């Protein structure tokens, strides 16, 4: 088995933390749109339980649906760093009031190609 790496090293934690905080947690619409263009491939696919979306607009509308239905005091956070290998990364996260227990927790799994997220799978933990 070869230990030789193909392609540039991927900063899984940096990219996935940016995906959570600069996109999913960002309430400023223009900053969110700029981060989406920077972090995701134009043809990105997002898969959530019972829903899917494609492209930059799909990411934007997915996030907008989450944040527009959440109280302004709700924030995202992570349970440690993201990890990955072979172009696939994962990161555990939580969402809820900034001064209380999370309302929802889950796991994001992404595929990264040429430094951008091409697929995002969102898994929600059972309540």
State residue 8's pLDDT score: 74
CA 19 to CA 116: how far, in whole Å?
A: 10
Global pTM?
0.91
Give 21-71 pLDDT, tens digit per residue: 999 999 999 999 999 999 999 999 999 999 999 999 999 999 999 999 999
Tokens 């309302």 — which residue? 103
Mean pLDDT (whole number) for 105-126: 97
């Amino acid at each position: 088995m070869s230990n030789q790496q193909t392609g540039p090293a991927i900063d899984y934690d940096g990219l996935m933390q940016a995906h959570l905080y600069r996109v999913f947690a960002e309430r400023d619409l223009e900053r969110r749109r700029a981060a989406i263009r920077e972090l995701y491939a134009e043809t990105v696919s997002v898969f959530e339980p019972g829903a899917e979306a494609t492209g930059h607009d799909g990411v934007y509308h997915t996030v907008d649906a989450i944040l527009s239905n959440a109280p302004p005091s709700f924030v995202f956070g992570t349970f440690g760093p993201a990890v990955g290998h072979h172009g696939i990364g994962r990161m555990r996260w939580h969402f809820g009031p900034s001064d209380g227990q999370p309302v929802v927790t889950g796991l994001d799994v992404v595929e990264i190609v040429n430094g951008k997220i091409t697929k995002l799978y969102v898994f929600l933990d059972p309540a």
